[in-house]
Amino acid sequence: MPRCFWCNDDPLYIAYHDTEWGVPLKDPAALFELLLLEGFQAGLSWITVLKKRERYREVLFGFDPQRLARMSDEEIEQRMQDPGIIRNLLKLKAARQNAQAWLRLDDPAVLLWSFVGGAPKVNHFSERGQVPAVTPEAEAMSKALKKAGFTFVGPTICYAFMQAAGMVMDHTIDCDRYRELTA
């Protein structure tokens, strides 16, 4: 099956590409998890986060924003000892802060999707160089999330989140998923 240029031969990466990436995601719980994971990815490869995703689900209360928002400093310090996750104190504290900010939003899914007008923006890129790292929509999302109290939500992270959540469809036209998702 022809896949996007970024998908390597790792079975976990292939499964992610073939079943999740670029599929429009409207469920608030799933969007929250993905937004946090994109923040954990900052400065690292996505495969690193994918390999640690299940452990994150275990140690971060299934990405339950209610419980995560109440995570104590002691609980964060405990997680800093866990080799199954990315042990970065700033990112762990950001997860708690982002959960608190998430809970203050009226309807997080509606807010996030508003940056693309509520429906996926379908791009028709034929080569790697055409796929942007940042767009005006991602910059606007980043600005709004930061104003709402989020952190680790820069424009590049926001665009990667938009791609992963299917807000923008960036499978290249030679990828089988492009045909499937635009059919």
Tell me the per-residue pLDDT of 95-146, one tens digit each, with 9 for 90 and over: 999 999 999 999 999 999 999 999 999 999 999 999 999 999 999 999 999 9
What is the average per-residue pLDDT within 27-47? 97
Q: Is 159 a catalytic residue?
A: no
**pLDDT over threshold 90, residue 37:** yes
Contact 84, 55 (CB under 8 A): yes
Task: Answer yes or no: is pLDDT of 80 > 90.
Answer: yes
Give yes or no: 38 in active site.
yes
Q: For residue 77, is pLDDT > 90?
A: yes
Nearest Cα to 167, choosing from 112, 103, 100?
Answer: 112
- Is residue 183 within a helix (H) or strand (E), and if so which, with residue range? none
Radius of gyration of the chain (CA): 16
The two tokens of residue 136 are 């005006």
**pLDDT (average), residues 158-169:** 98
Q: Which member of 16, 20, 75, 139 is catalytic? A: 16
Q: What percent of the chain has pLDDT over 90?
A: 98
Active site residue 46: yes
Mean pLDDT estimate for the chain: 97
pLDDT recorded at residue 88 = 97
- The predicted pLDDT at position 150 comes to 98
User: Which runs of E-coded beta strand occur in 129-173?
Assistant: 168-169
Q: Which of 13, 21, 33, 38 is catalytic?
A: 38
Question: pLDDT at position 183, please?
Answer: 85
Catalytic residue among 20, 46, 75, 139: 46
What pLDDT is stored for residue 1 in this prediction? 80
Higher pLDDT, residue 141 or 8: 141
Mean pLDDT across the stretch 27-52?
A: 97
DSSP string, 82-121: -TTS---HHHHHHHHHHHHHHHHSS-HHHHHHHTTTTSPE
Question: Mapping DSSP to helix (H, G, I), strand (E, B) and coil, where does residue 169 land?
Answer: strand
